[in-house]
């Protein structure tokens, strides 16, 4: 088979999930539920290919509707999106991960959750579309040609170790020893790549981590940046050797990162590596200045979130400076998934019926997030505002980030909180309106107000209390005067 050819039997029909009102697709008669069979006579592998094929001014869509195949002609200005969204970003099979990393969090999920949460992908297309990290162990020459030809940049690559034997051991895949050759090839072709190192105590920390930094400098200096993140461990962890960092180990990782940043800056002119916020919290150290995060480009990976939130909360910026959930606008038809999926489904607005905005206010947060929020809230000097840490007993282990809070734990905490208070719930713990355990905010024992998970949104939500309290005080004062 020639490079780039598609085996028709490997494709499934993408299902149109929605059609934008007034769009070229609607005018041509495309409807939700249609199965997309081909575009201008060609079967389509994924939304990336779909985007290129629908860029012309005349597009022919072959769809299946009610068992019948229908051909629809779309006329539009070249470059204008059709205005449809499909049910999956890939129409052939998602390239699943064949590594067996002992630190993989998917192996640590409890049974009975949504099926999609158990999918391990190692697909470069999802890396491009959603920022998922790929190990490149299933990457091929044909993939490289497509990435380069179609400009699929940036990509996100899991490095973990530059020593071939150690990397193969960590991935539990012999191809892990050589698959970073594709990283070198991507960089040689000018593809922007962001790297990640998940540090596992006793595996790739200490000297091994220092050697990885040296290896990156020697072999992959063109990397845009590298995120250094700690191992996450749930109570369902099947690997006894995998454990959370101690405070001293977190401090040692930070020391290694700081030394590496000096080395990279001297040689490359920029610090390259960044430690996750969690390390600073674990080690009890102050976060770097905002300038050290170089525009917060790795915000989604937990790099600089706390410092960005502080800047937003303080009012230094009018909009969130981190990457917000949402999709790359130019990829027409692509459904939003994962971190970029919509956090709410619109029904949460009905939860803002009680209590009044001036009521005592509790901010729900994961335990790590609470450590960031508490000094910020204290700086307001308002005793009516408090932070409510939510311990994650559902996942257990060292799972303490706000994004993994589940409804069961929020409900447990709220049952012990007073009625009539105002409770703010960050939207980062929701996906399409529900928690990871499937519970909806409306099922919680206290009404909650869903707030976007950035400092600007929280500040505005708290300002509503300040304004309401001030108005109530003015009314009381007027009542006394009239009396």
Per-residue pLDDT band at 435 (split at 50, 70, 90)? very high
pLDDT value at position 117? 78
Output 296 or 350, whichever has higher pLDDT.
Answer: 296
Same fold, 9-86 and 105-335: no
Residue 20 CA to residue 27 CA, distance in Å, equals: 10
Residue 151 CA to residue 129 CA, distance in Å, equals: 12
pLDDT value at position 346? 57
Per-residue pLDDT band at 128 (split at 50, 70, 90)? very high
pLDDT value at position 59? 93
For 38, the enclosing helix (H) or strand (E) is: strand 35-39
Residue 483 CA to residue 280 CA, distance in Å, equals: 56
Percent of the chain with pLDDT over 70: 87
Q: Exposed/middle/buried for 218, CB within 10 Å: 0-12, 13-18, 19+?
A: exposed
pLDDT value at position 248? 98
Helices (H) and strands (E) in the chain, counts: 13, 13
Between 123-137, 144-158, 460-474, the lowest mean confidence (pLDDT) is in 460-474
Output 210 or 94, whichever has higher pLDDT.
Answer: 210
Q: Which two tokens stand for residue 189?
A: 């072709």
> Are residues 263 and 215 in contact, defined by beta-carbon separation less than 8 angstroms?
no
pLDDT value at position 375? 96
Q: What share of the chain is helix, strand, coil (3-state, %, to 5)?
A: 40, 15, 45
pLDDT value at position 22? 93
Residue 469 CA to residue 221 CA, distance in Å, equals: 55
Average pLDDT over residues 210-219: 98
Residue 49 CA to residue 42 CA, distance in Å, equals: 10
pLDDT value at position 294? 84
pLDDT value at position 324? 46
Please give the C-alpha separations between residue 134 and each of 2, 129, 313, in angstroms, as whole numbers. 25, 12, 34
> Are residues 332 and 51 in contact, defined by beta-carbon separation less than 8 angstroms?
yes
Between 164-173, 218-227, 376-385, 431-440, the lowest mean confidence (pLDDT) is in 431-440
pLDDT value at position 464? 80
Peptide bond into 154 cis (omega under 30): yes
Which residue is listed with tokens 């380069």?
148
* pLDDT at residue 203 is higher than 50: yes
Domain 9-86 fold: Pdz3 Domain (2.30.42)
* pLDDT at residue 331 is higher than 80: no
Please give the C-alpha separations between residue 76 and each of 18, 19, 31, 54, in angstroms, as whole numbers. 19, 15, 17, 10
Residue 63 CA to residue 39 CA, distance in Å, equals: 9
CA 141 and chain centroid, separation: 28
Alpha-carbon dihedral 427, 324, 222, 213, rounded to 10 degrees = -20
Average pLDDT over residues 110-135: 87
pLDDT value at position 330? 42
Query: Residue 76: helix, strand or coil by DSSP?
Result: coil
pTM, full prediction? 0.87
Please, which residues bridge with residue 198 across strands? 229
pLDDT value at position 300? 80
Residue closest to 46 by CA, chosen among 324, 345, 337: 337
Spell out the domain ranges in the chain: 9-86, 105-335, 342-470
The CATH architecture assigned to 105-335 reads Alpha-Beta Barrel (3.20)
The greatest distance separating any two alpha carbons of the chain, rounded to the nearest whole angstrom, comes to 91
Percent of the chain with pLDDT over 90: 67
Residue 346 CA to residue 335 CA, distance in Å, equals: 17
* pLDDT at residue 483 is higher than 60: no
Instruction: Return the ∠ at Cα 16 (arms to 42 and 343), rounded to 5°.
Output: 130
Residue 119 CA to residue 88 CA, distance in Å, equals: 14
Residue 57 CA to residue 49 CA, distance in Å, equals: 16
Quick count: other Cβ atoms within 10 Å of Cβ 443? 12
Q: In what order do the strands lie in the sheet with 35-39?
A: 68-75, 58-65, 35-39, 14-19, 84-86
Average pLDDT over residues 197-202: 97
What is the per-residue pLDDT across 245-283, written as a single tens digit (0 to 9) for each? 999 999 999 999 999 999 999 999 999 999 999 999 999
Phi, psi of 41 (to 5 degrees): 85, 0
Output 476 or 201, whichever has higher pLDDT.
Answer: 201
* pLDDT at residue 30 is higher than 70: yes
Please give the C-alpha separations between residue 243 and each of 197, 233, 296, 340, 366, in angstroms, as whole numbers. 16, 6, 29, 29, 20
Per-residue pLDDT band at 329 (split at 50, 70, 90)? very low
Per-residue pLDDT band at 334 (split at 50, 70, 90)? low
Average pLDDT over residues 368-380: 95
Which residue is listed with tokens 């860029």?
55
> Are residues 139 and 124 in contact, defined by beta-carbon separation less than 8 angstroms?
yes
pLDDT value at position 6? 34
Quick count: other Cβ atoms within 10 Å of Cβ 333? 24
Residue 478 CA to residue 429 CA, distance in Å, equals: 43
* pLDDT at residue 468 is higher than 70: no
Average pLDDT over residues 34-48: 91
**Axis-axis angle for helices 181-188, 141-150 (nearest 10):** 30
What is the per-residue pLDDT across 62-90, written as a single tens digit (0 to 9) for each? 999 999 999 999 999 988 889 988 888 88
Q: In what order do the strands lie in the sheet with 449-451?
A: 385-390, 361-366, 422-426, 449-451
* pLDDT at residue 481 is higher than 60: no
CA 165 and chain centroid, separation: 30
């Amino acid at each position: 088979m020639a490079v780039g050819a598609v085996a028709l039997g490997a494709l499934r029909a993408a299902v149109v999930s929605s059609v934008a009102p007034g769009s070229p697709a609607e005018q041509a008669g495309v409807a939700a539920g249609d199965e997309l069979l081909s575009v201008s006579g060609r079967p389509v592998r994924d939304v990336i290919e779909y985007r290129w094929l629908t860029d012309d001014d005349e597009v022919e869509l072959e769809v299946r509707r009610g068992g019948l195949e229908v051909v629809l002609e779309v006329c539009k200005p070249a470059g204008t999106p059709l205005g449809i969204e499909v049910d999956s970003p890939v129409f052939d099979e998602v390239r699943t991960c064949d590594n067996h990393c002992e630190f993989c969090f998917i192996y640590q999920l409890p049974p009975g959750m949504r099926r999609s949460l158990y999918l391990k992908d190692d697909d470069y297309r999802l890396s491009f579309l959603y920022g998922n990290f790929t190990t490149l162990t299933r990457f091929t020459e044909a993939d490289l040609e497509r990435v380069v030809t179609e400009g699929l940049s940036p990509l996100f690559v899991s490095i973990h170790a530059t020593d071939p034997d150690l990397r193969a051991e960590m991935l539990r895949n012999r191809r892990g020893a050589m698959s970073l050759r594709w990283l070198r090839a991507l960089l040689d072709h000018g593809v922007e790549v962001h790297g990640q190192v998940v540090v596992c105590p006793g595996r790739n920390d200490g000297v091994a981590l220092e050697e990885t930094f040296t290896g990156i400098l020697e072999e992959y200096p063109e990397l845009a940046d590298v995120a250094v993140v700690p191992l996450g461990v749930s109570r369902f962890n099947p690997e006894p050797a995998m454990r959370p960092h101690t405070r001293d180990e977190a401090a040692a990782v930070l020391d290694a990162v700081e030394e590496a940043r000096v080395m990279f800056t001297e040689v490359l002119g920029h610090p390259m590596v960044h430690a996750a916020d969690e390390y600073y919290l674990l080690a009890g150290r102050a976060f770097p200045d905002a300038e050290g995060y170089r525009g917060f480009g790795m915000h989604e990976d937990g790099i600089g979130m706390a410092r960005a939130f502080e800047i937003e909360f303080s009012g230094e910026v009018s909009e969130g400076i981190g990457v917000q959930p949402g999709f790359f606008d130019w990829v027409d038809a692509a459904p939003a998934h994962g971190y970029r999926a919509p956090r709410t489904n619109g029904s949460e607005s009905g939860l803002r019926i009680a209590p009044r905005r001036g009521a005592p206010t509790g901010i729900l947060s994961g335990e790590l997030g609470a450590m960031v929020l508490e000094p910020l809230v204290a700086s307001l000097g308002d005793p009516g505002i408090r932070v409510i840490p939510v311990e994650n007993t559902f996942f257990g282990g060292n799972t303490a980030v706000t994004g993994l809070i589940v409804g069961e734990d929020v409900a447990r905490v709220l049952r012990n909180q007073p009625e009539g208070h105002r409770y703010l719930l960050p939207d980062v713990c929701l996906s399409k309106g529900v928690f990871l355990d499937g519970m909806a905010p409306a099922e919680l024992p206290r009404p909650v107000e869903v707030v976007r998970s950035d400092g600007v949104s929280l500040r505005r939500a708290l300002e509503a209390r300040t304004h309401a309290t001030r108005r109530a005080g003015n009314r009381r004062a007027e009542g006394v005067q009239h009396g």
